[in-house]
């Protein structure tokens, strides 16, 4: 399967854990990745020819470019993931989420996921993860601060492909300045409308992480 929680697996009390990235930042990363790193040089050239080569922010401000690149679809992948396979989980005609889809996704998040981290709040994420799932993540908070990199990579399935140094680099000031420009409240209002499902779930998960941090760490 594709890893999405099904109703059957939820009934069996499977414990789910995941980490979310800000939907618009994730979309921007995917946009660039498809053009310069994905699959093969031939595929990348096909993407550039069919969907354009303008910078992400320029494309996001252009209705035609947003449509060609299916931003409404690709910016709401987490909604599809959390919703699962029920009849409520069908996208609208544009590939975006429906109210029913987001409602079911919220319910699945709160019922089936014991832990949901936030990439933009990595310190809280690893500390809460270690507290909530100690058998799985013991030692990850120490390792992610620049300690034993190998231990960090082995401590948690989500870091098996990424070194602790790679995680640390995400907090580089230059990267943050670019990210802050992308996700400012007054920037890209049309894009925020397209990404509404994932943005709603992201904010729900962010608030929940803060609550867990307060309960577990204070």
pLDDT for 39-87, tens place per residue?
Answer: 888 889 999 999 999 999 889 888 999 999 999 899 999 999 999 998 8
**What does the domain layout of the chain look like in residue ranges?**
7-217
Is the separation of the CB atoms in 152 and 159 below 8 Å? yes
For 29, other C-beta atoms within 10 Å of its C-beta total 14
The string of pLDDT tens digits covering residues 200-216 is: 999 999 999 999 888 87
Is the separation of the CB atoms in 10 and 108 below 8 Å? yes
The string of pLDDT tens digits covering residues 103-141 is: 999 999 999 899 999 999 988 898 888 888 876 666 666
Cα separation, 104 vs 118, in Å, equals: 21
pLDDT, average across residues 31-46:
89
Taken in order 62, 68, 69, 71, the sign of the CA dihedral is: positive
Average pLDDT over the chain, rounded to an integer: 79
- pLDDT computed for residue 100 by the predictor: 94
Torsion, Cα 20 203 2 112, to 10 degrees, reads 110
- pLDDT computed for residue 21 by the predictor: 93
Cα separation, 93 vs 81, in Å, equals: 18
Cα-to-chain-centroid distance, residue 37: 19
Cα separation, 151 vs 118, in Å, equals: 21
pLDDT, average across residues 175-191:
67
Q: Is the pTM for the entire model greater than 0.85?
A: no
What is the total residue count of the chain? 218
């Amino acid at each position: 399967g594709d890893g999405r929680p099904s109703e059957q697996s939820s009934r069996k009390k499977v414990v789910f854990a995941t980490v979310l990235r800000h939907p618009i930042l994730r979309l921007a990363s995917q946009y660039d990745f498809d053009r310069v790193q994905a699959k093969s040089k031939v595929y990348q050239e096909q993407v550039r020819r069919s969907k354009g080569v303008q910078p992400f922010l320029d494309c996001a401000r252009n209705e035609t470019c947003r449509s060609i690149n299916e931003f409404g679809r690709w910016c709401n992948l987490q909604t599809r993931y959390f919703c699962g396979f029920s009849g409520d989980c069908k996208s609208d005609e544009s590939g975006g989420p429906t109210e029913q889809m987001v409602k079911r996704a919220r319910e699945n998040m709160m019922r089936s996921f014991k832990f949901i981290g936030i990439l933009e709040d990595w310190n809280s994420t690893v500390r809460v993860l270690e507290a909530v799932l100690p058998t799985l993540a013991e030692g990850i908070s120490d390792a992610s601060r620049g300690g034993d990199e190998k231990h960090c990579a082995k401590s948690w399935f989500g870091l098996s492909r990424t070194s602790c140094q790679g995680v640390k680099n995400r907090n580089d000031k230059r990267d943050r300045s670019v990210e802050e420009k992308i996700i400012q409240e007054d920037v890209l209002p049309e894009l925020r409308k397209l990404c509404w499902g994932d943005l709603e779930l992201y904010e729900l998960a962010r608030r929940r992480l803060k609550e867990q941090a307060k309960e577990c760490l204070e």
